[in-house]
Structure 1
Amino acid sequence: MRTIDIQVNGAFGIDFNDDNLDLDSFSHACQKLAASGVQQFFPTLITAPHDALLRRVSKIAGWVTADSQLQACVGGLHIEGPFISPKPGYRGTHPLDAIRPVCLEFLKEMVEAGRGLVRQVTLAPEEDPQFLGTRWLADQGIVPFAGHTDASLEQLRGAIDQGLQGFTHLGNGCALEVSRHDNILHRVLACRSELVVSFIADGIHAPFWLLKTWLELFGPDRVIVTSDAMSAAGMPPGEYLIGGQPILVDESRRTRHRDHQYLAGSASLLQDMENLGPQWIRDWSEVKERLFCENARKLFRLPGTPQ
């Protein structure tokens, strides 16, 4: 099965958020991802200072727009941050000093730097005053996702009214301890008929029994499996980087920031998660293409989507 991965921070020892990333390394990662079964993917650029983030977006966009082979495998860019919650846990491993509320001017600069390739932006609705950024993205045909957020139910619904369409890696990018009833997981579940959710389905970021339960609640047309791969994916255990931050990967493939306990992307490829799918996905043969390919293709209107 050929898959679509909407969140890839890096792979095969290559970090897409590295300021020293060069074309040969990026092309090599693209070739290796294609060989692993990924038909198209979204290079994902995470929270960084203003100028650094614009440089990273512009550099990758420039390479892709100039190369037909890269265009065939890069379906678009996913920008995750910097407009996310600064709260511990919710920000994950995103650098606190670069996190900021939504700035429409900065958002427009990022999209312009992306040369028409920005397909997805993950932000925190509570950091988007009056949801102006969400509305602007939706008006440009870019798909806004909530993520790394502690938005209230009212804020989630307000963002949905302005074009929010999805939620990034449900069950991650949140505090380790939350209120029993009123928490971001339950709020997203309350909006399940209006949002598409992505899962990191490696069995580490969320247990398979929980993914199975969520899949039953959302239904197979509203779930996208993504790797959230970082540079350690496809590599042995050790220390790797994401945006200059040191990430430790142990023998179980668990990732964590060297200086704290939070997970930091995935050390698994989407192919690895596909191989694990039958452990938690009922009616595997009937729904696997939707979860690993077609739902993403339809939501982001990628080539091959019926008109």
Structure 2
Amino acid sequence: MTLTKIFNGKILTPHRIINGGCVIIENGIIREVSKKNIEIDDAAEIDAHGKYIAPGFIDLHIHGGGGADFMDGTEEAFLTIAETHAKYGTTSMVPTTLTSEKEDLLKTLDLYEIANKNNKKGAQFLGMHLEGPYFAMSQRGAQDPRYIRDPDPEEYKEVLAHSSSITRWSAAPELKGAIDFAKYLKSKGVLAALAHTDAIYEEVLEGFENGYTLATHLYSGMSGVTRRNAFRYAGVIESAFIIDAMDVEIIADGIHLPAPLLKLIMKIKGPDRIALITDAMRAAGMPEGDSVLGPLKTGLKVIVEDGVAKLPDRSSFAGSVATADRLVRNMINMADVSLLDAVKMITVTPARIMNVHDRKGSLVSGKDADIVIFDENILVEKTIVSGRVIYNA
């Protein structure tokens, strides 16, 4: 039996901040969160030095970091990304693909299985997120148009049969066959998310009723108010606001969404329906300059400057380079969100969305000891996964 005590910090729970208490960890599980500093013999001690003790950050949507991308085709890429983002407080992540050839997708799924077994030094993996290829061509963004198509039952059933590690799949709900696709995902326990879509409210509502309960990177790659034959129609953005029970994820890097939009989303959806995501590409945690979006060998050349990836002609953004600490900091400083609510949106809420809230997302007895210690500026000092310190500043 191994015992660890974290003390002398400000413990963040979903509802309050506990000063002067401690967190007791036993064999990688939280045994107790106390309002007092309990004396325990033979326990390893971690002094938080007055800093915040929070649940580990959960990133639902991430493509890369540390110079690697999950589509690079190597186990090393998976492990590099997990270790890179652990430095910024991420303790769990959902590795995300890009639209690609089916063979490349299946290879990535196989590599996930290998990397997941060997991932000892980085953020844990919570299953794979397939982003595409079932998208609206008009909202493809940086997704490769060569592979975009309508849902193919033979194809997606083969992919889902190939791997049990798929936990979410993003698609456009208005496409032919997209509703049957969502029903099939639901039958397999896979979360359907709407993304890169030109749907109008009626199509979004039908999608929501059949399983599309999460809006992927709200505002990015989706329709707003549009006109058809002179009549106005609510798009996906407005639909996500109207449907109270729909969850949304947002790239809170302060660039994809400026402060007024962050405030608007917060005002309408609230912290219980918002998940903060990095949607980070390989340049996250790296110096600015030239980089590649997508697979290293076949991806799109981009330039990273001003805290974001851009097309070489600077005509458009080409990916996020955010880290989890930056998301929390931005919500506090740009959107006037409280620390507790900002942390909730990258811990409690994503844990519920991914159905791992029984073991992750909050500092509660019986849950995994995934913990991050950070200061007033959300600068990470320690990252702890299952009771093990995997990053120490």
Alignment TM-score, normalising by the size of structure 1: 0.89
Q: Which ranges in structure 2 are unaligned for 5 or more consecutive residues?
A: 1-53, 368-393
Matches of 1:237 and 1:68 in 2, distance apart?
A: 27
- Show CA shifts across 1:62-119 (max 9, x none): 332x3363897111111100011111xx1001011100101122222222333x2211
Matches of 1:108 and 1:290 in 2, distance apart?
A: 35
Q: How does 1:205-244 map to 2 (within 5 A)?
A: 205-241=256-292, 242-243=294-295, 244=298
Contact 1:11/1:29 (8 A) holds in 2: yes
Matches of 2:85 and 2:340 in 1, distance apart?
A: 25
From the superposition, tell whether residues 230 and 276 of structure 1 become closer, same or farther in structure 2 (CA, over 3 Å).
same
- Whether 1:82 aligns to 2:133 is yes
Q: How does 1:108-187 map to 2 (within 5 A)?
A: 108-114=157-163, 116-129=164-177, 131-174=179-222, 179=227, 182-187=234-239
Quote how far apart the aligned CAs of 1:258 are.
3.6
- Secondary structure (helix, strand or coil) at the match of 1:94 reads coil
From the superposition, tell whether residues 101 and 207 of structure 1 become closer, same or farther in structure 2 (CA, over 3 Å).
same
Matches of 1:84 and 1:260 in 2, distance apart?
A: 24
From the superposition, tell whether residues 237 and 36 of structure 1 become closer, same or farther in structure 2 (CA, over 3 Å).
same
Matches of 2:121 and 2:210 in 1, distance apart?
A: 33
**Which residue of the other structure, out of 66, 75, 80, is the alignment partner of 1:23?**
75
- Whether 1:94 aligns to 2:143 is yes
Matches of 1:73 and 1:263 in 2, distance apart?
A: 29
- Show CA shifts across 1:247-278 (max 9, x none): 42343022223478342220111222222221
Q: Name 1:51's counterpart in structure 2.
A: 103
- Secondary structure (helix, strand or coil) at the match of 1:264 reads strand
Matches of 1:176 and 1:85 in 2, distance apart?
A: 14
Which protein shows a greater Rg?
A: 2
Matches of 1:18 and 1:178 in 2, distance apart?
A: 37
Please identify, of 135-144 and 103-112, the stretch whose mean Cα deviation from structure 2 is larger: 103-112
Please identify, of 233-242 and 104-113, the stretch whose mean Cα deviation from structure 2 is larger: 104-113
Contact 1:80/1:122 (8 A) holds in 2: yes
Please identify, of 6-15 and 256-265, the stretch whose mean Cα deviation from structure 2 is larger: 256-265
Matches of 2:176 and 2:182 in 1, distance apart?
A: 7
- Whether 1:194 aligns to 2:245 is yes
Residue type matched to 1:4 in 2? I
Contact 1:45/1:57 (8 A) holds in 2: no
Quote how far apart the aligned CAs of 1:176 are.
9.7
Contact 2:224/2:235 (8 A) holds in 1: no
Contact 1:30/1:73 (8 A) holds in 2: yes
Q: Report % sequence identity.
A: 24
Matches of 1:231 and 1:23 in 2, distance apart?
A: 15
**Which residue of the other structure, out of 337, 353, 359, is the alignment partner of 1:304?**
359
From the superposition, tell whether residues 190 and 247 of structure 1 become closer, same or farther in structure 2 (CA, over 3 Å).
farther
Residue type matched to 1:224 in 2? A
**Which residue of the other structure, out of 153, 176, 185, is the alignment partner of 1:104?**
153
Contact 1:131/1:162 (8 A) holds in 2: yes
Residue type matched to 1:81 in 2? G
Contact 1:246/1:258 (8 A) holds in 2: no
From the superposition, tell whether residues 274 and 144 of structure 1 become closer, same or farther in structure 2 (CA, over 3 Å).
same
Quote how far apart the aligned CAs of 1:172 are.
0.6
Matches of 1:264 and 1:175 in 2, distance apart?
A: 18
User: Aligned Cα RMSD in Å?
Assistant: 2.4
Contact 1:222/1:295 (8 A) holds in 2: yes
- Show CA shifts across 1:148-168 (max 9, x none): 001121111111111111000
Quote how far apart the aligned CAs of 1:200 are.
0.1
Matches of 1:219 and 1:250 in 2, distance apart?
A: 31
Quote how far apart the aligned CAs of 1:29 are.
2.2
Quote how far apart the aligned CAs of 1:42 are.
0.7
From the superposition, tell whether residues 130 and 4 of structure 1 become closer, same or farther in structure 2 (CA, over 3 Å).
closer
**Which residue of the other structure, out of 308, 323, 330, is the alignment partner of 1:276?**
330
Matches of 1:214 and 1:107 in 2, distance apart?
A: 33
Quote how far apart the aligned CAs of 1:207 are.
0.6
From the superposition, tell whether residues 13 and 178 of structure 1 become closer, same or farther in structure 2 (CA, over 3 Å).
farther
Matches of 2:224 and 2:274 in 1, distance apart?
A: 23
Contact 2:150/2:176 (8 A) holds in 1: yes
Quote how far apart the aligned CAs of 1:128 are.
4.5
Residue type matched to 1:166 in 2? L
Quote how far apart the aligned CAs of 1:15 are.
1.3
Contact 2:185/2:192 (8 A) holds in 1: yes
Q: Which ranges in structure 1 are unaligned for 5 or more consecutive residues?
A: none
Alignment TM-score, normalising by the size of structure 2: 0.71
Residue type matched to 2:198 in 1? D
Contact 2:332/2:342 (8 A) holds in 1: no
Residue type matched to 2:236 in 1? I
Matches of 1:70 and 1:112 in 2, distance apart?
A: 30
